[in-house]
Structure 1
Amino acid sequence: MGLFHTSTALIYAVLLLLSSTLVAGIQYCHTGPDFCFAATTQHNTSTESHDVYLTISATPSKKGGWTGVGLGREMKGALMFIIYEDQESKSLITSIRSASGHVMPKVVEDADKQVSVLQATVSDDKYLAQFVCYSCWSPEVEVDGLSPYIFAGNKEQAFYGADKYSSLMYHEFKGKVWGDMSATAEDTTVASAPAIQGEETIGITEESPEPEKKKPEGFFTPVRVHGTIMTFSFMGLYFAGSVAIRSPLIRAFKYHWMIQAGASILALGNGLYMFLRSTHFGLHKIIGLTILCSLIIQAAAGYKHHIDFVMIRRQTIFTLVHRWLGRGTLLFGTMNVGLGMYYRHWSSLGLFTWFVIWCVEIAGYGYVLLRHQRRQSQQRGHAIPKEDLEDIADAEVFDIGDDFDDDEDEVEGVPLMDRQKKHEKNI
């Protein structure tokens, strides 16, 4: 019996020792994509404040992706713990960042003075990182006994040769939760990060204890104005101007350059404004900047083509640049409109409507090109009334047409651009 009681006492002693090393904490688990984070506080006797221990566990996608958890109500001023995998070295990168608003967070250069990385490991199906943030928690941040946490991530971004400064793609998901820090073991003598306990949410709620303070948002916000102008420019004016130069109208050239000039002024002006107020760049903005630069090159090439063609009556390299860069700009500009709508979380119906309109415009532009080519073939050799010749010549000189020999310049009554490249000799 004495041996039995001795064994029982030893077992209880071991269990008591193990229980003292387990750190209780709050935990939140998110599904689709899957990740969990757990947090606990520990009283720091040297600073008379509280340290925060944080554990983040995430299930990577095929590309890897990134996941971040922040201490705070919003991105502005929050301390963010972001993890992602370097696909080349198969190592987990930890990046401590902060932001001045809802913008791309920047690396906190002296983060090692406040934050220590306790663990950062990668396996086939899990990222696991543990941190300690010294003197990071105070009861002053609580609202009704709850502390705010934010989270975000993007599972479609792959990182190669990554470091803590790697650029992040715009988050695909985000959220804010509130944790009851009184449930954590802040008075224990054990200083360690909490373990992820299954997939349950413990001591955390998604319901905010304070009313959301949303600033009244009018219709004419910078982003909405930007989207409206770019949609009107690319899917309205640029499309109309591209069709105009291929139309049989007498003043097609004048309509073309006036419409395109107006669209370019709107697009370049609004694009420059959005560029100056941007603090981070995603795919939509990179494509947009490329298109804006292309507009300048394309317009310059069109002007040079016109000047050269008036003088030498031949196509040049500027002709090809103006033609194909214009078509590419129109195609990718209209596609980028849809990408912007996607990033603004338009409904499936809205995106489908844009796609239908986009398909109709692209098909319509192809039809206009085909009709223009047929019309040119049918009109070859037909005389044009002298009173209309000057206006037609103005339009046709700018149009991208055929080359012809110098001895054709004096042929009267035949539009310059409608002549064949070479005279067929009469047999």
Structure 2
Amino acid sequence: MRSTFSASLAVLSASSALAVTSSFCPDNGNVCFRWGIPEASASAGSGSFYFQIKAPTSAQWAGLGTGSQMAGSNMFIIYQDGNGNVTLSPRRGVGEVMPQYTKRSGLELLDGSGIKDNQMIANIRCNNCVDLSLKGTSSWIAAWKNGNSLDSTSMEERISEHDTHADFSVDFSKATMSSDSNPFTGSNEDANSNSGSSSGGAVTQNGSGSPSKTVLRAHGIIMSIVFIAGYPLGAILMPMLGKWLIHAGWQVVMLLLMWAGFGLGYVYARDGGYVSSSLRCARIGTCLSVLTCESSGENKLTQEWALLFVP
């Protein structure tokens, strides 16, 4: 009798564990996400899985994406459609520009989605709609922007840059459920929640941030001064004045300003979640090419101009 009771208790415990889907609200905020992985998909490492995006109606849009950075991410963005429902827009992250709409088969907006209690709710089923391993731990990113409702049913609606972003890891083994059905309705709606970074939960937050518009403006102003006015003027000073010390001093100042602008640009990209390996290579390559010009070709060209224009 005792063994039978123990076995029954174990079965009930296992069933309960399989019924729980993870929930996560970055920085203990009011934008939250959940995942549910059917047992069959978890075992195979592919197939259908479920996730939920929930955000207040004060948010203009909210999005969830695969991977650890915006570039190359498969993103799912929601916003109000103006009719009491939400629009689900699958997009592809391409770096520092607006994510582009990408049609995805196997993507479905489920029952329970819409506007409820001043919240946008999207219950989503993805049946092999993205290339994602459903085994182990997976990296995800999220972003959202506050503002007026877009009130659009178009999946290609233009969206403004996000106010806040977060990146985190999801342990799919802790989001497994027994059936391949919508886990976000009925009794499953009240599943346990993990807010912020938690070693014991299914989701661990790695970072978050809000890009500063002041930093962006400073980056743009400094780099514009350096490349549009500073370096050309420095090249003109040598043949006009014939004073290499003035030319050298001017170019050194521009060089220092360039690296200051580069640093501000990196800070903005990092805080906005835009940094990728290709982006870093492009930015560093541009700055290194300026150093090459400073030490070789640009000075040779200056000497040629001096011979032509300076008596």
TM tier relative to shorter chain: 0.5 to 0.7
Does structure 1 retain, via aligned residues, the 8 Å contact 2:57–2:149? Answer: no
Q: Are 1:37 and 1:196, in contact at CA under 8 Å, matched by a contact in 2?
A: no
Q: 1:192 to 1:22 in 2, by over 3 A?
A: farther
Shift of 1:79: 1.8
Gaps spanning 5+ residues in structure 2: where?
1-7, 196-200, 208-215, 231-263, 270-311
Are the aligned partners of 1:82 and 1:94 in contact in 2 as well (CA < 8 Å)?
yes
The answer as to 2:106 corresponding to 1:107 is no
Tell me the amino acid that sits aligned with residue 96 of structure 1: P
CA apart distance, 1:160: 3.6
Q: Deviations over 1:394-416 (max 9, x none)?
A: xxxxxxxxxxxxxxxxxxxxxxx
Sequence identity percentage: 21
Q: Which amino acid aligns with 2:94?
A: S
Q: Report the CA distance shift for 1:163/1:177 in structure 2 as closer, same or farther (over 3 A).
A: same
Give the drift of 1:60.
2.0
Verify: 1:134 aligned to 2:127, yes or no.
yes
Distance 1:118 1:165 in 2: 20
1:34 aligns with 2:33: no
Whether the 8 Å CA contact 2:93–2:100 is kept in 1: the answer is: yes
How many residues align? The count is: 204
Question: What letter matches 2:203 in structure 1?
Answer: I
Name the counterpart of 2:149.
158
Q: 1:67 to 1:105 in 2, by over 3 A?
A: same
Residues 42, 141 of structure 1: alpha-carbon distance in 2 compared, 3 angstrom cutoff? closer
Q: Which runs of 5+ in 1 are unaligned?
A: 1-11, 209-221, 238-339, 346-427
Q: Helix, strand or coil: the match of 2:47?
A: strand
> Counterpart in 2 of 1:58?
55
Matched, 1:167 2:176: no
Q: Is the 8 A contact 2:22 2:193 kept in 1?
A: no
Indicate the residue corresponding to 1:80 in structure 2: 75
2:226 & 2:96 partners in 1: Cα distance?
Answer: 27
When residues 230 and 128 of structure 1 are mapped into structure 2, their CA distance, relative to the original with a 3 A threshold, is same
Alignment partners' CA distance in 1, 2:223 and 2:145: 29
Q: Match for 1:191 among 181, 185, 188?
A: 181
Q: Secondary structure at the match of 1:227?
A: helix
| Residue from 41, 65, 74 that aligns with 1:70 | 65
Say whether the 8 Å CA contact 1:154–1:172 is kept in structure 2. Answer: yes
Whole-Å Cα distance in 1 between the matches of residues 16 and 148 of structure 2? Answer: 40
* C-alpha contact 1:20 1:190 (8 A) present in aligned 2: no
User: What is the aligned counterpart of 2:221 among 215, 223, 227?
Assistant: 227
Higher strand fraction (1 or 2): 2
Quick one: which amino acid aligns to residue 125 of structure 1?
N
Rounded to whole Å, the distance in 2 between the matches of 1:178 and 1:78 is 14
Name the residue aligned to 1:205: 204
Q: Is the 8 A contact 1:40 1:184 kept in 2?
A: yes
Matched, 1:177 2:168: yes
- Asked whether the equivalents of residues 33 and 59 of structure 1 are also in contact (C-alpha less than 8 Å), the reply is no
Deviation, structure 1 residue 189: 3.1
Q: Does 1:149 align with 2:129?
A: no
Contact 1:50 1:138 in 2 (8 A): no
Name which of 88, 113, 121 aligns with 2:114.
121
Deviations 1:247-266 (A, max 9, x none): xxxxxxxxxxxxxxxxxxxx
C-alpha contact 2:20 2:191 (8 A) present in aligned 1: no
> Contact conserved, 2:26 with 2:205, CA < 8 A, in 1?
no
Corresponding letter in the other structure for 2:114: T
Which is bigger in relative contact order (C-alpha 8 A, separation at least 6)? 2
CA distance in 2, matches of 1:137, 1:163: 21
Structure 2 equivalent of residue 91 of structure 1: 85
Deviations 1:1-33 (A, max 9, x none): xxxxxxxxxxx9xxx7xx679732222113575
After TM superposition, the score normalised by the length of structure 2 is 0.54
Deviation string 1:361-412 (CA, Å, 9 cap, x unpaired) is xxxxxxxxxxxxxxxxxxxxxxxxxxxxxxxxxxxxxxxxxxxxxxxxxxxx
Separation of aligned partners in 1, 2:146 and 2:137: 29
Q: 2:78–2:122: 8 Å Cα contact kept in structure 1?
A: yes
Q: Render the CA deviation track for 1:322-364: whole Å, top value 9, x for unaligned.
A: xxxxxxxxxxxxxxxxxx99x949xxxxxxxxxxxxxxxxxxx
* Higher gyration radius (CA): 1
Report deviation, 1:73. Answer: 2.0
Question: Scaled by the length of structure 1, what TM-score is found?
Answer: 0.40
Q: How does 1:5-404 map to 2 (within 5 A)?
A: 23-31=19-27, 34-44=30-40, 48=44, 49-61=46-58, 64-86=59-81, 88-109=82-103, 111=104, 113-119=105-111, 120-135=113-128, 145-186=136-177, 188-194=178-184, 195=189, 197=191, 200-201=194-195, 202-207=201-206, 226-230=220-224, 344=268
* Separation of aligned partners in 2, 1:147 and 1:228: 39
